[in-house]
A and B are shown apart, each in its own frame.
Chain A
């Protein structure tokens, strides 16, 4: 029977050193594009280190946890993590991004770049949310999701997150969207974003623009 690594190898091929180096460069530039105040905040909460890999995240996270002295992940947990493009492991103070994920394979250069930038911004927003959102914010996840733009709400629901992760995923998505908007020279509250969500993202991320 094939192991997790073997089954993933069948579903994906190596992306090559050049594309992997390009992915690492893109994430580095995405970090530099964050407002300085956000970078400082991320450094302070231990979310300023990252690795861009060409490997499913389940086994990568498992190996890192074992090397740091934690128990290995359960096999079901590893398989589940393999579906992720990126994640922040709070305990290890590390963001991981899988540049070789099957959904990124064969994307044209610009779409590949867009998705990597988005993933990095999402993960940094997620880290800020996990550390800085309050219990009541997390408990209000279902209600906050109802206030989100339709497409964002549907994507989060379809992805199958636990309810306890709704608030973090929502903040992460909105943070990525605000950064994308800022990259195009627009700041302030977008007309499509509910006041309550905007206030929450500002409080959690320190967004002040």
Chain B
């Protein structure tokens, strides 16, 4: 029987890593003058309802 070796996947070790990922993204966006605030996804009525 064939054994598959899958990739390691998207490894995010801990909560600090989550904060680091989002911080890096925000800094890169800010560095070129883009507002890092998350605009949400189009068609997400549930979020729109929540934001109101």
A residues apposed to B, CB below 8 Å: 22, 25-26, 29-30, 32-33, 57, 61, 65, 69-71, 73-74, 77, 80-81, 83-89, 91, 101, 103-104, 107, 109-111, 113-115, 117-119, 122-123, 126, 130, 149, 151-152, 155, 158-162, 165, 168, 172, 177, 180-181, 183-184, 186, 190-192
Contact, CB under 8 Å: B9 / A32 = no
The answer to whether A65 and B31 have CB atoms under 8 Å apart is no
Which of A113, A115, A162 interacts with B18 by CB under 8 Å? A115
Interface of B, secondary structure class, is loop
Q: Would you call B27 and A151 a contact (CB within 8 A)?
A: yes
Whether A29 lies near B6 (C-beta < 8 A) is: no
Identify whether the interface residues of A are mostly helix, strand, loop, or mixed. Answer: helix
| Given A180-B25, A190-B32, A91 contacting B50 (CB threshold 8 A) | no
Of the four ranges (under 10, 10 to 19, 20 to 34, 35 or more), the interface on chain B belongs to 35 or more
Complex alpha-carbon distance, A22 and B45, angstroms:
12
- A117-B29 in contact (CB<8A): no
Q: Which 10 A-B pairs have the closest CB atoms?
A: A84-B9, A151-B24, A87-B9, A29-B41, A71-B3, A71-B1, A159-B11, A86-B10, A85-B10, A70-B4
B48 to chain A, nearest CB (A): 12
- A30 to B31, alpha carbons, bound, how many Å? 25
A186 and B34 contacting across the interface, CB-CB below 8 Å: yes
B32 surroundings in chain A (CB, below 8 A): 186, 190-192
**Which of B2, B3, B23, B42 contacts A33 (CB under 8 A)?**
B42
Closest residue of chain A to B2 (Cβ to Cβ) is A70
Residue in B7, B23, B39, B41 whose CB lies within 8 Å of A87: B7
Chain A: minimal CB distance from B52 (Å): 14
Tell me, rounded to whole Å, the shortest Cβ–Cβ distance linking A79 to chain B.
12
Contact across chains for B7 and A83 when beta carbons are under 8 A apart: no
Across-interface contacts of A160 in B (CB, < 8 A): 8, 11
- Complex: chain B residue closest to A109, CB-CB: B50
Residue pair B28, A190 in contact (C-beta under 8 Å): yes
A85 near B12: Cβ-Cβ < 8 Å: yes
